[in-house]
Structure 1
Amino acid sequence: MFDDPMTTADMIGWAFGFLLPLVQVLGVLSAVDAIMHARTPQGSAAWVVALVLLPLVTLPLYWAFGRSRFEGYVRAVRQFDDEVTARLERAQRSLERWEVPPEAACDERTASELRGFANLSRLPFLRGNSLRLLVDGKDTFDAILGAIDAAEHTVVAQFYIVHDDRLGRRFQRSLLDAAARGVHVFFVYDGVGSHSLPRRYVRTLREAGVEVNEFSGERGWLGRFRINFRNHRKIVVVDGQRAFVGGLNVGDEYLGLDPTLSPWRDTHLAVEGPAAQALQLTFARDWYYGRGEVPELPWELAGSDRDQNALVVASGPADRVETAGLLYAQAIAAAEHRVWIASPYFVPDGLVLGALQSAALRGVDVRVIMPRMVDSWMFRFVPYAFLPDVEHVGVKVFLYEDGFMHQKVILVDDDYAAVGTANFDNRSFRLNFEVTCLAHDAAFCADVEAMLEADLARSTRLTEEDLTAQSFPFRLAARSTRLLAPVL
């Protein structure tokens, strides 16, 4: 006699009876993975509790957002180093000719600082550079597109966000024209940041001979879930000699054409000289990760008459240490007189927050500039979240009032200034691939000082009284933002 057919309720019961134990086992196994790979002990503990108690909810979140190491990139970088040793040696020998040895510093303190920064970067400070600030979108893209239009041999271009709008099409046309002239053009865009970029945009470039690579996370099916790891770098290098790096992506909003975020305040950096090759080396590593091949790029160098010293610091989740956060912490620790920081997002971790507090307690003039205008509701309360922690020790917080400020700049005394892609938050410190150009040059520091003084003139001091004057729900939301700091 046949058994009665299973009812829908029976099938649902059977499915839950089978799936729930399986999900629980996967939750425990993922908890073990969290113990081995989570970024911090606190994060590890939080994931373990959540994965064991609520695996059905937290399993997909963990595999999308929880892991910090970019294993595929780590393997690719090591393979890159093994497979192109000769070419790396050629580039390294070329860079070594321009190295600034720490021992050449005028005092042991400076020598120690230079040594620390260089060891963090794994590249030396390089002399023979020309560094020029590019303030806001028009100057930046006039310079970038002008350089691409004048390219003779190679163009490498890498952006986190590329839109198919007026600026995006101007950028595309410059790449197409360069390729038509016989220039070898390489283009990398991030698959998360540029998720809305139409396929036809990329197809047009490829059909014209531009080599295109989407940086989309770890290769293989698992990479589809790794949206937490993003290549946030913005690098353009022309003929191996002229480079651009900073905060601006390719989109009309970066020209101030988005009425909801206008005017747009940002900073980019034009680099000529050996540091341009260090930026090109960073691009080459990312290219190899995506394509499994070494791009044919020029590695011969020529110095600039300005002879400014600069260090390129590439950072990302593949690093054995948290390079971006340590760069900020080292820079702040080196300060004797002032630390001025401009960033759209001020969400420091414990290491960097402690460095800021310590500097202020030493009597250093510590100023943090953030925008009052926000580009996401999640960041509305960020300026207030850490205000009580920093103001009572003397850190001054300013809100930029003239539109949305997106620059990532730090100035330390008259000694160091940095422009790059890294925000002052956990995502840039631990999750994103970033790049920063750190200058050790008094003249460049004076240029950055003048720029930031103009920004401060358009800013309002934020005090703890401003927070206490807010409603209780607002203050609660501000303090609760600290709980979201690891994922902001």
Structure 2
Amino acid sequence: MLHLPFALISTVVLLLHIAGVFAAAHALMHTRTPQGAVAWVFGLVLLPYFTLLPYLFLGSKRFSGYVEMHHSRLARLRKLDDPEQLALAARHPADPGAQRFKAISAMLGVPFLSGHHLRLLVNGAAAFDAIFAAIASAEHYVLVQFFIIHDDELGRRLQSALLERAAAGVRVYVLYDGVGSHDLPNSYSDILRAGGVQVHPFATRRWRNRFQLNFRNHRKIVVVDGWRGFVGGLNVGDEYLGRKPPLAPWRDTHMELQGPAVADLQLAFDENWHWITGDLLSLLSPHASNKGGNATSLIAATGPADAQETCSLFFVEAIHAAQRRLWLTSPYLVPDSAVMAALQLAVFRGVDVRILIPSRPDHRTVYMASTLYAHESVRAGIRVFRYLPGFTHQKVMLIDDDTTAVGSMNLDNRSLRLNFEISSLNIDPAFAAEVEAMLLADFEQAHEIDSGEYAQFHYLYRVAIHVARLMSPVL
């Protein structure tokens, strides 16, 4: 009787190790970074009992259909030397300062264009008041995409606003991420569909997405009638208005832009919509803002479907462009080696490098890994601050006195390599001055990390944050 269970256990262990070897071979061939490949291969070969199941959810790289569609659309629609693009650039010539970022433009195939009116939306109340006002004014269509939509008070306000426009004959399209909005009840979408709104969850596999936790669509996009666009860090939920302790008050930033770059903002939405539904949307070309403005902007849409790691390269090039100042805000500080090296080099150039991160965790493991990276950054001469009043979720960059970036990109591996992200890169001294004033107010409410704080941690906590850093490739 004792031999049968032992034989069964031995067989199961053998099969797990065989499966681990096959999975390790897959990881070796498909994992993007050498560090990630080493971690998966050793884990799958030596400890398949613990790593096989996570690899099913986190290790898959197969969404080739989306990649092929993405690349074909880029080839067709985003050529910098295309006559239409050249004519557009001639009508809206970029600020000369855009030359510092020409590698970003070339990498993404998207031009810098002038003629924009920019509006900084400093918190959730300001952002959603502006978004709902824009939706209420829609005459032709509304595009809405968020990583998270909750069925709470704010979510139902959005639902009502979209239903009202749909009832008025406006075309309304909604995308939300299937994992980020995993607790959104079907009834929420059913009510929208019954009212004439077209709504779908985003997934990188059309027909089967059960084992796909990576490659989430982290973008936050609203476009109204092709000429008013919103982008930033806010999702749709009461916590983003600071109504849910212990993370309240919630600190976040969005922006509105009006002008020709809105075409690239809605193109990013249209590509995702086409992947999910197979349909191409009928979209309008942007027109000039009725408020004037001549800011130069570029919409940077990045993601794992790109041939290069475009989000990481976006940060590297932006950091290298800084000559006097580089201020960054991110809820997570888990940079890759390329971004970390760029930050260190900026310090050696004499750049004032500051990073604002939260003092409260929303994800404990990420917070612990960020703690170690924060202290390593301080030792490298980077000034790191923890925002004290509540949780800071904003993703903002200020470069010198004229350049800003506002969007969905975090300083972590998910944004740098695994998620679909979007940001608006803007060259406009007046807008940069507004961002500077906003960030100065944030820094005044923050604690600057001292180089001696690490030594004051309990030894076991120091061990724990080093262990947390080992998980950086999947954080």
TM-score range normalised by the length of the shorter chain: over 0.9
Is 2:22 the partner of 1:32?
A: no
Opposite residue 360 of structure 2, the aligned amino acid is M
Is 2:64 the partner of 1:77?
A: no
Shift of residue 11 of structure 1? 8.5
Is 2:311 the partner of 1:321?
A: no
Tell me the SS of whatever aligns to 1:224.
coil
Alignment counterpart, residue 253 of structure 1, candidates 239, 242, 255: 239
Q: Distance in 1 between matches of 2:295 and 2:217?
A: 28
Shift of residue 25 of structure 1? 3.7
Shift of residue 13 of structure 1? 4.1
Deviations 1:452-483 (A, max 9, x none): 11111111111121221222222222333321
Conservation of the 8 A alpha-carbon contact between 1:102 and 1:111: no
Tell me the SS of whatever aligns to 2:118.
strand
Answer with 390-399 or 336-345: which moved more: 390-399
Match of 1:60 in 2: 53
Match of 2:469 in 1: 482
Opposite residue 460 of structure 1, the aligned amino acid is H
Match of 1:287 in 2: 273
Q: Distance in 2 between matches of 1:167 and 1:307?
A: 33
Is 2:259 the partner of 1:269?
A: no
* Structure 2 gaps, min length 5: none
Shift of residue 49 of structure 1? 1.9
Deviations 1:76-122 (A, max 9, x none): 3245568xx5x889xx876554427999765xxx5652321201221
Higher Rg of the two aligned structures = 1
* Structure 1 gaps, min length 5: 1-6
Deviations 1:117-165 (A, max 9, x none): 2012210011111111101111100000111111000000000000000
Tell me the SS of whatever aligns to 1:381.
helix
Q: Distance in 1 between matches of 2:324 and 2:262?
A: 30
Q: Distance in 1 between matches of 2:393 and 2:273?
A: 26
Q: Distance in 1 between matches of 2:392 and 2:63?
A: 30
Match of 2:226 in 1: 240
Shift of residue 50 of structure 1? 1.9
Match of 2:215 in 1: 229
Measured at CA, do residues 102 and 23 of structure 1 come closer, stay the same or move farther in structure 2, by a change above 3 Å?
A: farther
Conservation of the 8 A alpha-carbon contact between 2:93 and 2:114: no
Deviations 1:265-292 (A, max 9, x none): 1000101111211100000011111111
Alignment counterpart, residue 41 of structure 2, candidates 39, 48, 64: 48
Match of 1:396 in 2: 383
Shift of residue 16 of structure 1? 5.9
Answer with 150-159 or 51-60: which moved more: 51-60
Opposite residue 34 of structure 1, the aligned amino acid is A
Conservation of the 8 A alpha-carbon contact between 1:422 and 1:436: yes
Match of 1:341 in 2: 328
Tell me the SS of whatever aligns to 2:148.
coil
Opposite residue 134 of structure 1, the aligned amino acid is L
Alignment counterpart, residue 108 of structure 2, candidates 113, 117, 121: 121
Deviations 1:161-197 (A, max 9, x none): 0000000000000010010000000000001110110
Alignment counterpart, residue 132 of structure 1, candidates 112, 119, 137: 119
Deviations 1:320-345 (A, max 9, x none): 11111111111111111111001111
Conservation of the 8 A alpha-carbon contact between 2:145 and 2:221: yes
Opposite residue 376 of structure 2, the aligned amino acid is D
Opposite residue 55 of structure 2, the aligned amino acid is Y
Match of 1:385 in 2: 372
Answer with 297-306 or 310-319: which moved more: 297-306
Conservation of the 8 A alpha-carbon contact between 1:179 and 1:209: yes
Q: Distance in 1 between matches of 2:98 and 2:156?
A: 46
**Aligned pairs for 1:455-474 within 5 A:** 455-474=442-461
Tell me the SS of whatever aligns to 1:259.
coil
Measured at CA, do residues 11 and 476 of structure 1 come closer, stay the same or move farther in structure 2, by a change above 3 Å?
A: closer
Is 2:143 the partner of 1:156?
A: yes
Q: Distance in 1 between matches of 2:170 and 2:2?
A: 64
The number of aligned residues is 472
Opposite residue 160 of structure 2, the aligned amino acid is R
Conservation of the 8 A alpha-carbon contact between 1:387 and 1:464: no
Conservation of the 8 A alpha-carbon contact between 1:94 and 1:299: no
Shift of residue 413 of structure 1? 0.5
Conservation of the 8 A alpha-carbon contact between 2:253 and 2:394: yes
Measured at CA, do residues 100 and 182 of structure 1 come closer, stay the same or move farther in structure 2, by a change above 3 Å?
A: same
Conservation of the 8 A alpha-carbon contact between 2:78 and 2:109: no
Conservation of the 8 A alpha-carbon contact between 2:227 and 2:285: no
Q: Distance in 2 between matches of 1:36 and 1:102?
A: 44
Match of 2:165 in 1: 178
* Cα RMSD for the two superposed structures: 2.4
